[in-house]
Amino acid sequence: QQPVQSPQAVILREGEDAVINCSSSKALYSVHWYRQKHGEAPVFLMILLKGGEQKGHEKISASFNEKKQQSSLYLTASQLSYSGTYFCGTLTGGSQGNLIFGKGTKLSVKP
Amino acid sequence: DAGVIQSPRHEVTEMGQEVTLRCKPISGHDYLFWYRQTMMRGLELLIYFNNNVPIDDSGMPEDRFSAKMPNASFSTLKIQPSEPRDSAVYFCASKLPRGNTEAFFGQGTRLTVV
């Protein structure tokens, strides 16, 4: 089951903050966040695991609410380089293989 | 390591032709994924392998699609016969089996079927 992301798109000015949400109808084992720039491959940002472990980017933070099966990505003091499409990917159960991605959130940061 | 390597980067083919996409995962990665990306559907998981064995191919759209992994360093995704609606970017990714590890994506193959 594909996770649902919101919003679908957001436009920011440099320095503004944004929150991207990801929710699943299934119990989550982990949530993976990626950013993709136009014409490029998705690049890893962060992993959040059930139980609180996190691994990822120094300047981007995220939360994982296991009970609500939701995750949020927080982009603070946005820079032009933050522009791109953000995807959340979810793993359910103990499987390491069924990494399913949402449809993405397109973030545009303007000067 | 050079990362996940896909070939070709671009492929233009005529409807009805066979298309083969290739992927070399990162050495030591037990998991290999094939994704298809379109504007409408985003990143769709087509199939994934664990230790060269196909585990879940429920995302493969039709029997025209097939994937193989003959060894730990090579996988193919084949479309036969190809149709215009198969036009998309196809990504291969690989991952270690541990829970706190990320998937690494190749640069993708942009397929255009005319």
pLDDT in tens, B78-91: 999 999 999 999 99
**How far is Cα A76 from Cα A63, in angstroms, rounded to an integer?**
14
- pLDDT at position A111 is 94
Nearest to B42 among A29, A47, A102 (CB): A102
What percentage of chain A reaches a pLDDT higher than 90?
67
Q: Do B95 and A29 touch (CB under 8 A)?
A: no
Residue pair B97/B33 in contact by the 8 Å Cβ criterion = no
Q: Is the pLDDT of residue A4 over 90?
A: yes
Nearest to A101 among B42, B101, B106 (CB): B42
Query: Is A8's Cβ below 8 Å from some Cβ in B?
Result: no
Q: Do B95 and A49 touch (CB under 8 A)?
A: no
Q: Is the pLDDT of residue B99 over 80?
A: no
**How far is Cα A101 from Cα B92, in angstroms, rounded to an integer?**
14
- pLDDT at position A15 is 93
What percentage of chain A reaches a pLDDT higher than 70?
93
Question: A50-68, pLDDT tens digit by residue?
Answer: 777 676 776 788 999 888 8
Nearest to A103 among B42, B98, B106 (CB): B42
Q: What is the mean pLDDT of chain B?
A: 95
- pLDDT at position A70 is 93
